[in-house]
């Protein structure tokens, strides 16, 4: 098929974000599909520049970042960027994009953060892929304009894999969401030799945006999940390292509690530095957005998936994904401090075993061939 992938790399030129999108493009191409990645500036200042830490209308940093990574993965003819501010096209030309769209079979709009445009609106299958469950649905319920944009799509998939189940309390926005998850291109993640003497790490935002409230219930960020675990470093001998985007006051509070805190920009500057940070880790320890947890959404992090693909055990707060993913070997979950400590001790008891099991889980449940096949079959 001819598949258009709408995403966010030029405007968010960081290693983790890039891998999240690249694995859709690479995975679909590996399956034999014709793929074009298309990004759109929209009409507001949306381009982040890590070198200046500014958000402007200038896409030059992100364009160079995008060009480099797509060329590196032999995808130099598989991307285009439209800059509404200057009415300019980069990568493939407007004519080439329109020709592709005129014959395309599917649009995958990742996270729904690209605007509706006439050049892809007539593609017969248009899938809105929700990566932020609960928050996406609340936005649709409380913002009619956002709901109308969503309804321009024909199909809907979500990382909230428990949506519609009795255990899940994601607010119902009236859309028929089907379950999906992050595809992982296994060949891009090698299980280099691991060592038990390294740090547990993660890359995270303290507050990605403001917490949401709906019908008297608050749906919070990772900051709302973290308080119970602030004393983790004093409970075990292991070292915990956070590549954390946050205010200085929060960072000082965490350092005082025994956490190692790093600037995430250097770690996520390129796709290679992101991979190296993961490979240099003992494994991942992380909380989830409180909104994912309280709804039992089933959300699972694309970052956690690539830790496991790299043969690194993952210990994370349970969002309800234990209903469909195997936990206890390579992937361990907690709901309180005692369980978190027990997970650390369990992995330390047979570290290499948990490294191997982590990779096996990704091979079985996140392999891009399987995930993308199931996604396309759902249309």
Per-residue pLDDT averaged across 216-243, rounded? 96
pLDDT value of position 30: 98
For 40-67, write each residue's pLDDT tens digit. Answer: 999 999 999 999 999 999 999 999 999 9
pLDDT value of position 246: 86
Structure tokens at 258: 């025994």
pLDDT value of position 196: 81
Angle at alpha carbon of residue 371, lines to 369 and 374, rounded to 5°: 100
- Of residues 155 and 246, the one with the higher pLDDT is 155
For 169-217, write each residue's pLDDT tens digit. Answer: 999 999 999 999 999 999 999 988 777 889 999 999 999 999 999 999 9
Domains for the chain: give ranges and CATH numbers.
Answer: 2-186+367-377 (3.40.50), 187-365 (3.40.50.2000)
Per-residue pLDDT averaged across 6-16, rounded? 97
Instruction: Report the percent of the chain where pLDDT is more than 70.
Output: 100
Instruction: Using DSSP, state whether 177 is helix, strand or coil.
Output: coil
Query: Does the pLDDT of residue 24 top 90, yes or no?
Result: yes
Instruction: Using DSSP, state whether 21 is helix, strand or coil.
Output: helix
Nearest CA to 157 out of 183, 189, 188, 185 is that of 183
- Write the DSSP string, 250-287: HHHHHHHTT-EEE-HHHHTSSHHHHHHHHHTSSEEEE-
For 87-139, write each residue's pLDDT tens digit. Answer: 999 999 999 999 999 999 999 999 999 999 999 999 999 999 999 999 999 99
Helix axes 15-30, 271-279, angle to 10 degrees: 100
Q: Which of 4-8, 188-192, 198-202, 256-260 has the lowest mean pLDDT?
A: 188-192
Residue 274 — very low, low, confident or very high, per pLDDT cuts 50/70/90? very high
pLDDT value of position 192: 81
pLDDT value of position 66: 98
> Would you say 331 and 307 are in contact if contact means Cβ atoms under 8 Å apart?
no
Residue 249 — very low, low, confident or very high, per pLDDT cuts 50/70/90? confident
Look up the pTM and report it: 0.97
Q: Where are the alpha helices (DSSP H) in 195-325?
A: 222-226, 232-235, 248-256, 264-267, 271-279, 290-294, 302-309
> Would you say 312 and 278 are in contact if contact means Cβ atoms under 8 Å apart?
yes
For 323-364, write each residue's pLDDT tens digit. Answer: 999 999 999 999 999 999 999 999 999 999 999 999 999 999
């Amino acid at each position: 098929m001819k598949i258009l992938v709408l995403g966010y790399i030029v405007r968010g030129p960081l290693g983790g974000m890039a891998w999240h999108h690249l694995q859709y493009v690479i995975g679909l191409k590996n399956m034999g599909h014709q793929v074009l990645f298309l990004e759109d500036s929209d009409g507001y200042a949306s381009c982040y520049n890590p070198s200046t830490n500014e958000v402007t209308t200038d896409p030059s940093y992100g364009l160079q970042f995008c060009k480099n990574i797509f060329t590196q993965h032999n995808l130099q003819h598989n991307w285009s960027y439209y800059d509404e501010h200057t009415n300019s096209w980069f990568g493939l030309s407007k004519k080439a994009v329109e020709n592709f769209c005129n014959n395309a079979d599917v649009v995958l709009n990742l996270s729904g953060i690209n605007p509706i445009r006439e050049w892809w609106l007539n593609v017969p299958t248009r899938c809105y892929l929700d990566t932020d469950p609960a928050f996406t649905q609340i936005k649709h319920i409380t913002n009619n304009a956002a709901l109308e944009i969503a309804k321009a799509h024909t199909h809907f998939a979500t990382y909230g894999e428990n949506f519609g189940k009795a255990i899940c309390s994601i607010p119902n926005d009236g859309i028929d969401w089907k379950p999906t998850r992050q595809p992982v291109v296994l060949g891009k993640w090698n299980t280099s030799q691991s060592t038990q003497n390294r740090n547990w790490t993660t890359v995270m935002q303290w507050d990605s945006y403001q917490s949401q409230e709906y019908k008297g219930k608050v749906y919070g960020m990772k900051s709302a999940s973290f308080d119970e675990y602030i004393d983790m470093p004093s409970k075990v001998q292991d070292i915990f390292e956070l590549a954390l985007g946050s205010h200085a006051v929060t960072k000082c509070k965490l350092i005082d509690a025994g956490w190692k805190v790093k600037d995430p920009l250097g770690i996520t500057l390129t796709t290679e530095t992101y991979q190296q940070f993961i490979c240099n880790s003992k494994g991942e320890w992380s909380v989830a957005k409180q909104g994912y947890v309280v709804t039992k959404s089933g959300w699972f992090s694309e970052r956690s998936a690539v830790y496991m693909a790299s043969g690194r055990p993952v210990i994370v707060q349970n969002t309800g994904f234990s209903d469909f993913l195997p936990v206890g070997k390579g992937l361990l979950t907690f709901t309180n401090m005692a369980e978190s400590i027990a997970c650390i001790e369990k992995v330390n008891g047979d570290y290499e075993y948990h490294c191997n099991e982590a990779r096996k889980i990704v091979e079985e449940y996140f392999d891009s061939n399987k995930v993308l096949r199931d996604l396309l079959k759902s249309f």
